[in-house]
Amino acid sequence: MDMTQYITDLAQAARKAAGVLACTTGEIRDKALLACAAALREASDDIQAANTKDLAGADELGLTDAMTKRLVLNDAKVEGMAVALADIAAQVDPVGKTITAYNRPNGLRLEKRRVPIGVIGIVFESRPNVTSDAAGLCLKSGNACILRGGKEAINSNLAIAAAIKRGLAAACLPAEAVTVLETTDRAAVSAMATAEGLIDLIIPRGGHGLIRAVMEAASIPVIKHLDGICHVYVHAEADLDMAEAIAVNAKCEYPAVCNAMETLLVDAAVAETFLPRVAAALKDAGVELRGGDRCRAIIPDMGKATEDDWATEYLDLVLSIRVVDDIAAAVEHINTYGSMHTDAIVTRSIAAAEQFITNVDASSVMVNASTRWADGGRYGLGAEIGISTDKLHARGPMGAEDLTSTKWIVTGQGHVVE
């Protein structure tokens, strides 16, 4: 298959569909979202049958337990996908929203308005519900999308896409508004990343290899959804009960996801008090602990954390722990080893919280809350296209509004420049 031609053809069709979407009202797009939700529910058995095929191949593809867990679809997960589409439909339409409007002294009227971006390419792995969430958010924001899921989920993704296309048809919208690639050839990713003038944005979500491949190939804008090396820092003035609950939750509630904690930083002032109790609680929850030297001086019974550990996203019940001198040392550790995703401080001190908020270079900074909250749904965005670890255009959990561009509208009465 000539991948460049294949992507060009799909993208040209998507571009036409984007032209149609750009002229729709929010009401029509919301009806389409509800029709897609209904179609997903109707197709639940088919989707789960396709998912079973994917799961049967998981071992052969060498998926880890964490990856396989993310691949599984069941009644609840399909229903969750449908509910997410309905949630997206219930949101305010981001398209046409006025960001700012004012008159200039000379009477010229300026307005900056949100408009769809056009065609968005999304490259992802593992979780098939991304197909539905991404399609829904693109549809909400008036964009056509081209989705390229992983090899491990190809059957699930195509079954979900088929249902969504039935929903689009029910709302009289073009099927090409949502396209799932039928190939998982990596060459398709490069072709997407260089489809200048056809695809406006490419969003890679997944492992380093995939994201690096997109970055290196790309001549169109990229918003990366890289890993989450998230930290919880227990400050000298922390409520230690709260700190323990947050640490256990951030590590154990769902370790396979990007907003789970990977490193616990404990202020030296409370290390002797706090470390024994949090270590016991984490071990009870089945977590393997790896400590820095100062940590192991207090709790000798744990493995040694290396430089690699500080920079590792375990996505599993493994945690590195480091004792730090103060908030400045905690910030330095986070800005050195973190991934600008989500980092938390537990403290009673306003000054410490402000210092942490200002100095930690992360997309989400949590004060007295678990890193696990970093999520578009939990932020009230309806669903999320992912969590941007970039600083441009969108940072952190991305909802439908993050999938819009803007347009200046300038109205005069014959105004010319002197």
Q: Which residues bind its own copies (CB under 8 A)?
A: 22-23, 102, 104, 108, 110, 117-118, 200-201, 215-216, 219, 221-223, 239, 241-242, 245-246, 249-250, 253-254, 353, 357-359, 361-370, 372-374, 378-380, 390-393, 395-397, 405-418
Contact 91, 387 (CB under 8 A): no
* Of 164, 155, 162, nearest in space to 184 by CA: 155
> Residue 148 or residue 251: which is nearer to its own copies going by CB?
251
Q: For the CB of residue 110, give the shortest distance to its own copies in the complex, in Å.
A: 6
Q: For the CB of residue 346, give the shortest distance to its own copies in the complex, in Å.
A: 8
Do the bridges between strand 178-180 and strand 144-148 make them parallel or antiparallel, or are there none, so unpaired? parallel
Q: For the CB of residue 234, give the shortest distance to its own copies in the complex, in Å.
A: 13
Instruction: Tell me if residue 26 falls in helix, strand or coil.
Output: helix
* Of 257, 215, 251, 256, nearest in space to 341 by CA: 257
Q: For the CB of residue 303, give the shortest distance to its own copies in the complex, in Å.
A: 26
> Residue 303 or residue 412: which is nearer to its own copies going by CB?
412
Q: How many CA atoms lie within 13 A of 194 on its CB side?
A: 12
> Residue 67 or residue 248: which is nearer to its own copies going by CB?
248
* Of 155, 135, 134, 163, nearest in space to 42 by CA: 163
> Residue 119 or residue 298: which is nearer to its own copies going by CB?
119
Q: For the CB of residue 223, give the shortest distance to its own copies in the complex, in Å.
A: 8
Q: For the CB of residue 413, give the shortest distance to its own copies in the complex, in Å.
A: 6
> Residue 4 or residue 368: which is nearer to its own copies going by CB?
368
> Residue 79 or residue 253: which is nearer to its own copies going by CB?
253
Contact 291, 304 (CB under 8 A): yes
Contact 309, 288 (CB under 8 A): no
Measure Cα distances from 323 to 82, 137, 216, 264, 326 in Å.
44, 41, 37, 9, 9
